């Protein structure tokens, strides 16, 4: 239904027949203005509903009427004819006023204004989110966009519902939704619906059936950093709510999160990734949504695994603890020094121990923090481009594509943090990013580097890329990106990421996050290291197009059997 009248409601009344035309237990289709309505007579009287079932538009008058319930024959949705409420299915059907003057029957249809329509659609969207009815969410989102709802307004409803329902604070669903919101806002009209629904569906899937987390009373007297460090989740949530209520500047609250996240290498980079995405989302939705999101970000940070305390990071942490982080934070940037050292990338990729000292020396030699992050991004892209695909099909191997993507997405998040709040704390985050690049090479050190695809730039429209991805032709996908203009490649990769070929939420989340991080990092490299600017995008193309074995059940069974048999943890 089109909503061309955007400001006021419009009422149309039409005579649809006489009482004699509508015997009890009958349904007839009539036209009122541009609307097709089903006029239905039951023991309770005459009623009028939209004739189009809200599911897929099939005519209700072709359905079955029993008592006060009409059933759409196509998919058996049931509606109460008296008010249009949905008794079986997902959403209600619009109901219209019937009047009888003598024998004459009239139906009045009121087309709501866009504002009125949005007010009715938002509760319906919330219902679809709660039930994880992707069809309803998609239809309501399309209607909301048609009714001139802002993408941020739609996403805010999902965040309000879902942020409190992840077991361990916010997770991949919010990070992915932030990127989906960014993509929706650069599109117009119905083009915004696809990325929006991807974000909404991810939130709905992870939240369904879970109770909302209790939120403590705001308490600005609690020190946020101390609460996080002591893993006082309730205190951290109360602290951030207190800061919001007290009117603290958003940048001040953001910086507290950055500083707290920088104290530890959290959850394979997710601590800083979730922080980045949460604040980027608030930039789009508005700071008034902060109470709905930030307490749950605090819970996520507080509950994250502190990898720097685990055995496999101890050697690297001893090196990091000897660094002069203040000197690293104040080192000249590569744009000022014209620093360039491609050998750094190879050194970091071939290192047999975490190259912390190498990374710090490069910072002080003229790379600066951002130059180091450039190198980490390029190294992460190369890891993706040379990942041995046999690893993906090893049922006993719990390391693969998704783990390697974290090196690049974390690097992007650290760059965001550095630009927002530079200092010794974010210099430490940059060292964590260098460590993660090293750790993402676990499979290479165990099995060797995979076969390197031969990339020969090719021309053609974006269908070349889409076809290559559909047919799992990674070499052609990479070659097309390598032969394209950067912005054309970004647009085509974004469409490919939204094409829903991943098969599961967690893979879709990584596809979308990697694509967005690659686009943003490619833009940075185009100014600082242009000869490598396309590397992140080429890497994304391989990730999208290369064969993947999504083996979550099988892999968990194999790992569980091994643990039950040996009692030993998995190899890193």
- Rounded distance between C-alpha atoms, residue 496 and residue 542, angstroms: 12
Q: Residue 2: pLDDT above 60? A: no
Q: H-type helices in 288-400, by residue range?
A: 290-303, 314-322, 325-329, 334-337, 342-350, 356-362, 368-386, 389-392
Nearest to 54 by CA among 87, 81, 93: 93
- For the segment 282-309, the average pLDDT, to the nearest whole number, is 97
Phi, psi of 169 (to 5 degrees): 80, -170
Q: Residue 334: pLDDT above 90? A: yes
Give the rounded distance of the alpha carbon of 225 from its chain centre.
27
Q: Residue 290: pLDDT above 80? A: yes
- For the segment 299-323, the average pLDDT, to the nearest whole number, is 97
- For the segment 454-480, the average pLDDT, to the nearest whole number, is 94
Query: Which sign, positive or negative, has the C-alpha torsion 289, 515, 509, 354?
Result: negative
Q: Residue 549: pLDDT above 70? A: no
- Rounded distance between C-alpha atoms, residue 504 and residue 522, angstroms: 27
- Rounded distance between C-alpha atoms, residue 77 and residue 86, angstroms: 7
- pLDDT class for 267, splitting at 50, 70, 90? very high
Q: What angle do CA 418, 423, 427 make, to 5 degrees?
A: 70
- For the segment 31-48, the average pLDDT, to the nearest whole number, is 95
Q: Residue 1: pLDDT above 50? A: no
What local confidence, expressed as pLDDT, does residue 551 receive? 67
Q: How far apart are the first and last CA of the chain?
A: 55
Task: Quote the crossing angle between the two packed helices 486-497 and 505-528, to the nearest 10°.
Answer: 170
Q: Residue 54: pLDDT above 60? A: yes
Q: Residue 5: pLDDT above 50? A: no
Hey, what are 95's tokens? 């109901």
Residues whose CB is less than 8 angstroms from the CB of residue 183 and which lie 6 or more positions away in sequence, other chains included? 195, 494, 498, 516
Q: Residue 181: pLDDT above 50? A: yes
Q: Residue 177: pLDDT above 90? A: yes
Nearest to 131 by CA among 96, 163, 173, 162: 162
Sheet holding 78-80, edge to edge: 64-66, 69-71, 78-80, 86-88
What local confidence, expressed as pLDDT, does residue 4 receive? 43
What local confidence, expressed as pLDDT, does residue 487 receive? 97
Q: Residue 547: pLDDT above 50? A: yes
- Rounded distance between C-alpha atoms, residue 270 and residue 267, angstroms: 5
pLDDT, tens digit (0-9, with 9 covering 90-100), for 421-438: 999 999 999 999 999 999
Q: What is the mean pLDDT of the chain?
A: 94
pLDDT, tens digit (0-9, with 9 covering 90-100), for 109-166: 998 899 999 998 999 999 999 999 999 999 999 999 999 999 999 999 999 999 999 9
pTM value is: 0.91
What local confidence, expressed as pLDDT, does residue 393 receive? 82
pLDDT, tens digit (0-9, with 9 covering 90-100), for 498-510: 998 877 899 999 9
How far, CA to CA in Å, does 339 sit from each of 336, 356, 393, 524? 8, 19, 41, 15
Q: Residue 42: pLDDT above 80? A: yes
What local confidence, expressed as pLDDT, does residue 3 receive? 40
**String of DSSP letters for 81-121:** TTT--EEESSS---EEEEEEETTEEEEEEEE--HHHHHHHH
């Amino acid at each position: 239904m089109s909503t061309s009248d955007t400001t006021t409601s419009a009422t149309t009344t039409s005579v649809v027949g006489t009482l004699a035309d509508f015997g009890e237990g009958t349904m007839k289709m009539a036209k009122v203005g541009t609307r097709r309505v089903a006029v239905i007579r039951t023991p309770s009287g005459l009623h009028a509903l939209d004739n189009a079932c809200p599911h897929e538009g099939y005519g209700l008058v072709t359905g079955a009427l029993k008592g006060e319930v009409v059933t759409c024959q196509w998919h058996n949705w049931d509606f109460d004819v008296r008010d249009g409420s949905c008794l079986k299915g997902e959403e209600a059907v619009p109901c219209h006023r019937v009047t009888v003057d003598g024998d004459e029957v009239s139906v009045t249809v009121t087309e709501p204004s866009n504002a009125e329509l949005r007010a009715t659609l938002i509760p319906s969207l919330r219902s679809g989110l709660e039930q994880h009815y992707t069809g309803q969410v998609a239809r309501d989102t399309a209607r909301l966009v048609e009714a001139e709802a802002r993408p941020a307004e739609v996403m805010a409803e999902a965040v309000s519902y879902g942020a409190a329902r992840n077991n361990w604070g916010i997770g991949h669903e919010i990070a992915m939704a932030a990127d989906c919101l960014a993509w929706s806002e650069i599109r117009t009209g119905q083009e915004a619906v696809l990325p929006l629904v991807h974000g909404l569906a991810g939130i709905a899937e992870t939240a369904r059936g879970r109770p909302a987390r209790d939120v403590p009373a705001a308490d600005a007297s609690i020190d946020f950093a101390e609460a996080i460090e002591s893993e006082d989740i309730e205190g951290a949530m109360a602290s951030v709510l207190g800061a919001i209520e007290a009117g603290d500047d958003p940048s001040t609250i953001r910086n507290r999160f950055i500083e707290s996240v920088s104290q530890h290498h959290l959850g394979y980079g997710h601590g800083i990734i979730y922080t980045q995405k949460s604040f980027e989302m608030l930039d789009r939705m508005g700071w008034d949504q902060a109470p709905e999101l930030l307490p749950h970000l605090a819970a996520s940070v507080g509950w994250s695994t502190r990898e720097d305390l685990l055995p496999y990071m101890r050697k690297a942490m001893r090196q990091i603890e000897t660094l002069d982080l203040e000197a690293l934070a104040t080192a000249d940037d590569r744009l000022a020094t014209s620093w360039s050292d491609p050998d750094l990338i190879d050194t970091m990729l071939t290192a047999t121990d975490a190259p912390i000292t190498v990374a710090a020396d490069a910072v002080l030699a003229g790379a600066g923090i951002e130059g180091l992050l450039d190198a980490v991004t390029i190294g992460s892209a190369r890891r993706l481009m040379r990942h041995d695909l046999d690893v993906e099909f090893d049922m006993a191997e719990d390391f693969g594509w998704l783990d390697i993507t974290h090196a690049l997405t974390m690097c992007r998040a650290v760059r965001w943090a550095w630009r927002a709040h530079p200092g010794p704390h974010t210099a430490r985050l940059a060292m964590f990013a260098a460590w993660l690049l090293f750790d993402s090479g676990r499979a290479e050190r165990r099995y060797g580097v995979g076969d390197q695809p031969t990339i020969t730039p090719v021309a053609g429209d974006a269908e070349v890329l889409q076809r290559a991805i559909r047919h799992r032709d990674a070499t052609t996908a990479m070659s097309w990106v390598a032969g394209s203009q950067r912005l054309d490649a970004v647009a085509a990769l974004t469409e490919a990421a939204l094409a829903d070929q991943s098969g599961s939420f967690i893979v879709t989340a990584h596809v979308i996050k990697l694509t967005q991080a690659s686009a943003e990092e490619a833009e940075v490299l185009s100014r600082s290291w242009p000869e490598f600017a396309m590397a992140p995008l080429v890497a994304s193309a391989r990730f999208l197009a290369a064969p993947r074995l999504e083996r979550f059940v099988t892999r968990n069974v194999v790992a569980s059997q091994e643990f039950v048999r040996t009692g030993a943890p998995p190899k890193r």
